Structure 1
Amino acid sequence: MAQTLMQVREWNAALKSARPETVALFVGGTSGIGKHTAIKLAGAVEKPTIYIVGRNEAAGAQVLEAMTKANPNGSYGFKAVDISDLRRVDEACKELKTQFKALDLLFLSAGALAVSKNETAAGIDVNHMLRYYSRMRFVENLLPLLEAAHYPRVISILAGGKEVMIEEDNLDLRKQFSLSASTGYPASMTSLAFEVLASEHPSVSFLHVFPGIVATPLLKNSMGSVAGTILGFLMKPISISAEESGEWHTWLSTSPNFAPKNSGQGAYIVNHDGKDATNQSLMTQLREKGLPEIVWKHTQDTFNRILT
């Protein structure tokens, strides 16, 4: 059910009493939506524990400072990790498991727009790795911590509702790569994987979110300073600020509207305002082809290929 910004702000303002403590991990939380959601969540909860994973230590330090300013009662940490390398992801998760007993929120927002293919050592495009495989590796590794939490939720900020028909022999985009496929394939794969995960882990809710057009550094990072600045200026009238996006995504991260499968739907495809964004016709076609199970088996096979 879609909400208004006023309703969202009222919910967030009530979190100090409704949710006095929360433990959250933001992967890709040094800029953009992840950064602003982490800062907003820090200020909204009485005693938050928030950990940031990203590549840029200076940017990470700035986020830690901003969260501390928003709420000095919180506990905050940052770890520099190149999450395009799944071995580094595994190392980071192993360390996190020693620090936390439970994890209420895993918030995934790493990656940019792939305007050209740039393969990792594993032969997979960097952004495809960031937007799908490394995110799913974090999910798989941290599921025990999520299942130990009172309000476990996984949120992947990507392209919920923008799924496309996918071919099972091109899931890693090694056979055929294009700008549209680099966006559509991880969207479809995320929604399908979340259905499988919600079924297998019914105490955890999984949200695949399309955040709308948000004024973040994403365009500059993806397209270069000049082109990104021009496009950002042209899109400004239909975009929302990163700070407002933080408000919406703090609500998505904590609202009881998105219950786990044992008391609700479990897997959700939504816009930033919580409105259902599911393309029912396409998702039905994907399910009829058996693609939820095919995608998840491919994901496991890819992990095994790269990590063993």
Structure 2
Amino acid sequence: MAQTLTQVREWNAALKSTRPEMVALFVGGTSGIGEHTAINLAGAVKKPTIYIIGRNEAAGTQVVDAMKNANPDGTYGFKAVDMSNLRNVDEACEELKTRFKALDLLFLSAGAISISKNETAIGIDVNHMTRYYSRMRFVENLMPALEAATSPRVISILAGGKEIMIEEDNLDLSKKFSLSEANGYPASMTSLAFEVLASQHPSVSFLHVFPGLVSTPLMKKSMGSVLGTILGFLTMPMSISAKESGEWQTWLSTSPNFVPKNSGQGAYIVNHDGKDSTNQSLMAQLREKGFPEIVWKHTQDIFTRALK
């Protein structure tokens, strides 16, 4: 059910009493939506424990300082990780497991928009690796900690509702790569993988979120300074601020509207305001073709290939 910003702010303001403690990990939390959600959540929860993963140590330190300013009673940390290499993801997860036994929220927002292919050592586009495979590796590695929490949640900020029809022999984008495929494939694969994960882990809820147009550094990061600035200016009238997006995402991260499979659906495809954005016809076609299982097997195969 869609919410208004007023309702969201009222909910978030009540978290200090309704959710006094919370352990959260933000993968891609050094800028944009991840950054502002982490800071907003830090201020909303009475005694939060929040860790940030990102590539830029200076930016990570700034976010940690901002969280401390928002709430000095919390526990915060940052770890620099290049998520285009799954070995780095595994190493980070091993360290993180020593920091917390239970994880309430895994918030995934790492990556940019691909306009040209830039391959990793194993031949997969860097952004495809970061926006899909590394995110799923974090989910898999940290699942024991998620299942140890009372009401755990995984949120992937990407393109829920913007899925496209996919081809089995192009899941890694090796056969065909374009702006459409680079954005549509990880969207479809995330929604399908979350369906599988929700069935395998019924105590965890999984949200694939389309955040809408948000004023963040993403355009410049993806398109370059000049084109990114132009696109940012053109879309500004239709955009919300990163700070406001952080308020919406804090609500999505804590709202009881998105229950796990043992109480309901388990996997959700939603807009930033919580409205269901599922393309029912397309998702039905993908299921009929067996793509949930195909995508998850492919994901495991890539893990094996990247880590051998």
TM (norm. structure 1) is: 1.00
Shift of 1:79: 0.1
Match of 1:288 in 2: 288
C-alpha distance in structure 1 between counterparts of 2:237 and 2:124, whole Å: 36
Match of 2:153 in 1: 153
Shift of 1:157: 0.2
Match of 2:243 in 1: 243
Shift of 1:92: 0.2
C-alpha distance in structure 1 between counterparts of 2:122 and 2:47, whole Å: 40
Shift of 1:305: 1.1
C-alpha distance in structure 2 between counterparts of 1:69 and 1:99, whole Å: 22
Shift of 1:294: 0.3
Match of 1:54 in 2: 54
**CA deviation profile, 1:256-294 (whole Å, cap 9, x unmatched):** 000000001100000000000000000000000000000
C-alpha distance in structure 2 between counterparts of 1:302 and 1:88, whole Å: 15
Shift of 1:151: 1.6
C-alpha distance in structure 2 between counterparts of 1:18 and 1:242, whole Å: 25
Aligned residues: 308
Show the 5 A alignment for 1:111-260. Answer: 111-260=111-260
Match of 2:92 in 1: 92
Displacement over 3 Å in runs of 4+: none
C-alpha distance in structure 1 between counterparts of 2:110 and 2:100, whole Å: 22
C-alpha distance in structure 1 between counterparts of 2:224 and 2:167, whole Å: 31
**What is the letter of the counterpart of residue 248 of structure 2?**
W
Match of 2:2 in 1: 2
**What is the letter of the counterpart of residue 100 of structure 2?**
F
C-alpha distance in structure 2 between counterparts of 1:250 and 1:191, whole Å: 21
2:264 partner SS: coil
Consecutive unaligned residues of structure 1, counting only runs of 5 or more, are none
**What is the letter of the counterpart of residue 114 of structure 2?**
A
**CA deviation profile, 1:228-274 (whole Å, cap 9, x unmatched):** 11111110100000000000000000000000000011000000000
C-alpha distance in structure 1 between counterparts of 2:302 and 2:224, whole Å: 31
C-alpha distance in structure 2 between counterparts of 1:248 and 1:110, whole Å: 18
Match of 1:14 in 2: 14
- How many percent of aligned residue pairs carry the same amino acid? 83
Shift of 1:24: 0.2
C-alpha distance in structure 2 between counterparts of 1:264 and 1:21, whole Å: 25
1:52 partner SS: strand
**What is the letter of the counterpart of residue 14 of structure 1?**
A
1:169 partner SS: helix
Q: Does 1:81 align with 2:81?
A: yes
2:169 partner SS: coil
C-alpha distance in structure 1 between counterparts of 2:143 and 2:206, whole Å: 12
How large is the RMSD of aligned CA atoms in angstroms? Answer: 0.4
**What is the letter of the counterpart of residue 87 of structure 2?**
R
